Amino acid sequence: MLELFTFFKLYESYSNSKENFNPNSDSDYLKNTTKIPISWIISAIIISFATAYIAYSCNEYEKPATRALSTIIAFFFSGFYLIYYFIVHILFDRKCSSRGINNIVKNLTKSKNLHV
């Protein structure tokens, strides 16, 4: 989620710098902000909650502080966490320490193999 909004902010700053944009002027800033589509914001929030659920489920047997920290990181940096999850848990086939998320992933991979 944060990486998406950071990308939009960088793109906005880059496009405004070409027009001699002064970031210290509030009136110019409010006029020149680009609008992020609401559907993108909603989808980013949904993906962030799903990623936080995956992180929370995978760390079921960890200490509470570690579980909370990984869930928060997964929520705010969902894109990076999903790449990490794909590499570690899908490509290298390292199972999560919980029972619930393993069954979801296992059922998805079985259904893919049946359809192919």
When pLDDT is averaged across residues 81-94 and rounded to a whole number, the result is 88
3-state secondary structure of 112: helix
3-state secondary structure of 109: helix
List the structure tokens of 14.
Answer: 């880059």
Residue 70 φ/ψ, nearest 5 degrees? -70, -35
Say whether pLDDT at 100 is over 80: no
> Residues 116, 86: one domain?
yes
> Residues 88, 108: one domain?
yes
Structure confidence by residue, pLDDT tens digits, 8-53: 777 777 776 655 555 555 555 445 456 777 888 888 899 999 999 9
When pLDDT is averaged across residues 69-75 and rounded to a whole number, the result is 94
Say whether pLDDT at 62 is over 70: yes
* Number of domain units in the chain: 2
**Residue 112 belongs to domain spanning:** 38-116
